[in-house]
Amino acid sequence: MRVSSFVAVALLQASGFAFAAPSLESRGAKASRRPNHAVAPFHSGKAFPASSNRTKTCTVKSSGNGTDDSPAILKAIDDCNDGGHVVFGAGEKYTIGTALDLTHLKHIDLDIQGTLQFSNDTTYWQSHSFNQTFQNATTFFQLGGEDVNVYGGGTIDGNGQVWYDLYAANIYVLRPILFGTIGLKGGSISDLNLRYSPQWYNFVANSSDVVFSNITIAGGSVSKNPAKNTDGWDTYRSSNIVIQNSHIDNGDDCVSFKPNSTDIVVQNLVCNGSHGISVGSLGQYLGEVDNVKNVYVYNISMSNASDGARIKVWPGISSALSGDLQGGGGLGAVSNITYDTMVLDNVDYAIEITQCYGQKNITLCNEHPANLTISDITIKHFTGTTSDTYDPLIGYLVCSSEKVCSNIEIEDIQVLSPSGTNEFACGSIAGIEQEVNCTAVS
C-alpha cells in the first residue's frame, strides 16, 4: 500500500464513533458527555467501529485520605461493564495502590474528571506491575477489551519522582508505564492530562481501531536525576491507530512506532524536549521479524529535541547501546512511511536515518548490514532551525548497504543550521545526493 491510499478528509466525524449523552445515576454525579473528536485532516483509510450508547452510570467515591481506592474502582467498573459509564468525580483525588487488570472491558466509558495517582510503593509495583514482554516493559494497569472510551478532562499521575531517583541508582529497575492500552479493539482515549510517568507515558500493544485525541503530557524531575525514557506513545503489534491534537513535553521519543505497527496516523502534535517522531528501534532481537508500514505523520511542531523525523534500525550483528539496552540482527522491513510538514526549533538533526543504532563503529555496521530493510520513505515540507550540536550538519542519512535501503525521497527541506548551512551526512543510500546537500560520513 502506498501513501496515496491514506484518505485526506477535511471534517471526518470521528470515523463512526457514535455521540451519546450518558445517563446520570441516582446519586447525582455529573457525567461528562462523550467527546466527538474528528479524525482529521488525515485518516488511515480504515473504518473505526461505532461505540454504542451507555445505559447506566456508576460513580467512584474516593477515600480522600490516601487509602488505596482500587477496590472501589474495580467495583464500579464491574457494576457498569457492558453498557455503562463510570464517573471519577471532579475535584476528587484517587489513590491507586493495586495493579489493575482491566482487559475484560466491554462497551464502557471511563469518565475521569478528578485525579488518579499511583502510589509511591516502588517495591510493590516492581513485583506486581504487568509484564508486557517487549523491552522489559511493565505497566501500572492494562486496559483492553472492546469498545472502551476514556475521557473527562482529569489527570492521571504516575508519581514519577521516586522512580527517577531509584533508576539513577539502579538502571535495571523496572519502571511502570503510566497508561497501558493492551488488547483494546475499538475505542478512544481523549481529553486527559498525563503527568509524571516513571517511564513511557503510553504503551499501545496488540490493539486496533483506537483514537487518541487532546492529550497533554508533562512532568519532569525536580532532583538532579532526570526523568528518563519518558516516551509519549509507543505502539507495538497494533494497527489502525490515530494520535492527534496533543501537546507533549517529555524526555524521549514524542511518538515511537515499535515492531509490527501498521496503518497509523500521527497529526497535529506539539512536541518539546523529545527525541522526535521515531520509527523503531527495530531489528533488536535475533530471529524476530519487525515490520512497520503505512504510517503518515503530519503537521508536527518539534522544539528542543534530538531529532525531528527519525528511523532507527539495529545492525546485522549484536551490539550494546547500554547495559540495559542491547541487541541487533533482527529481520523485517520499514516501508511506506511519510513525514509531511514539520516545523523545527533547536533540534539536533532535522532528519536521521540509521541502520547502525546501538553501534558507533560504522565499519562494523557496513561489514554486517542490517537484516531489516528500509524502503518507500517520503520526507517533505520541513522548515526551521537546528541546534549547534552537529553544526554545520542538519541531518544524518546513513544506511549500512544500498541493498537494504531504497526509494528514499526527501524534498522541500527548508532547514538551516546556526551556521546557515543545510548539509547532511550521507552514506549507502542510492541517489540521495540528488535530493539533499550531502557530505561524506566521517
Indicate which residues carry an active-site annotation: 275
Write down the residue that cell numbers 516545523 correspond to: 343
CA distance 195 to 197: 6
| CA 97 to mean position of chain CA atoms | 25
CA distance 154 to 172: 32
Q: What is the largest CA-CA distance in the chain?
A: 71
Q: Are 78 and 101 in contact (CB under 8 A)?
A: no
- Residue 327 grid coordinates: 541487541
CA distance 422 to 410: 13
Write down the residue that cell numbers 555496521 correspond to: 365
CA distance 51 to 184: 13
Give the angle subtended at the CA of 231 by the CAs of 225 and 237, to the nearest 5°: 145
**Continuous H helices in 319-373:** 362-367
CA atoms within 13 Å, Cβ hemisphere of 216: 9
Could you tell me the CA-to-CA distances from 91 to 45, 61, 115, 281, 333 in Å, in that order?
A: 39, 11, 7, 40, 48
Could you tell me the CA-to-CA distances from 297 to 105, 341, 429 in Å, in that order?
A: 30, 8, 22
- Residue 302 grid coordinates: 518539534
Burial label for 158, CB within 10 Å (0-12, 13-18, 19+), is: buried
Q: Residue 359, Cβ neighbours under 10 Å: how many?
A: 22
- Residue 267 grid coordinates: 497529526
